[in-house]
Amino acid sequence: MKMKWLLTCLALCAFQVLFAQIKIGDNPQTLDPGSVLELESSNRALVITRLSTAEMNALSPLPGAIVYNLDEECIHYYNGSEWINLCSASALELTNFPIVNADTTIALTRTGDQINVEVGTITGLNIVDQSLTRDDYGPSSVNGQAHIQLNSTPPNRIIPSIIPNQILKTNTAADEVIWADPDVIAMGKVNASVPIRVRGANVLPVADGLYNVVLDNPRPNQDYIIQLTVFGDYRIQVANQLNDSFLVSIVNLGVGTPDTIWYFTVLDF
């Protein structure tokens, strides 16, 4: 009787061990202790339940259930409320529709199963103020022929100088543009055609209100700046400009001769 009881206990223990861990296929004697069910084969595959969409939706399985959908040809798993297609569960849809920016900044081009993403148009709204310095630009990365469009930089985009009458110039190292005083070629204060104080030029009368200013150092071309100033009820302007001289015209808008005190400054462009 005791022997039968012992055999029964051993059978029960063996049955529990048998169903605690199962390995099917090659090397059944080698079983990972963390496995409940382990499959090993070099020439066979695991085939899970194969169902149509209607058959799959008719099930009410436990969360985590897995089937192969014959209609969609893909594995589905059940998350507790619906079947999830593993072939499309992680698919992302790319769009260049702007949400953060005002304009589209990328271009998407589909070629077969591939989507090419490239930088599109970047406007000033996409660049944070003062975020770019001269170190961010490579040599010759910006040039007037290809990279700067006409009217792309209006006057209010250039910070004005705090000192009047300065111009933009390159520094001595020619690696930076700075505000600087212009190169003065000639300047003077004249009473009609009589110089009061003149430097770098001679003033010659041509007619009443018409004076020729001859430069001591002629310029290589006519690209130099002339600044004229007159006070009172007069109008002053440049009537003609040559490489070595320019003609000044003064008109009295009131009564009397056009003779008056006027000023000129000649600057390199």
> Confidence band (pLDDT; 50, 70, 90) for 4?
low
Same domain, 200 and 262: yes
Sheet with strand 184-191: strands edge to edge: 194-199, 184-191, 261-268, 224-230
Same domain, 83 and 96: no
CA–CA distances in Å: residue 169 to residues 26, 77, 268: 82, 70, 11
- Who has greater pLDDT, 183 or 8? 183
Give the separation between CA 17 and CA 9, rounded to whole angstroms: 12
In sequence order, what are the beta bridge partners of 40? 25
Q: What percent of the chain has pLDDT over 70?
A: 76
In a domain, 142, yes or no: no
User: pTM for this one?
Assistant: 0.37
Q: What is the DSSP letter of 124?
A: G
Q: Which residue range forms the structural domain that includes residue 63?
A: 23-91
Same domain, 192 and 231: yes
Same domain, 52 and 115: no
The number of folded domains in the chain is 3
Same domain, 32 and 65: yes
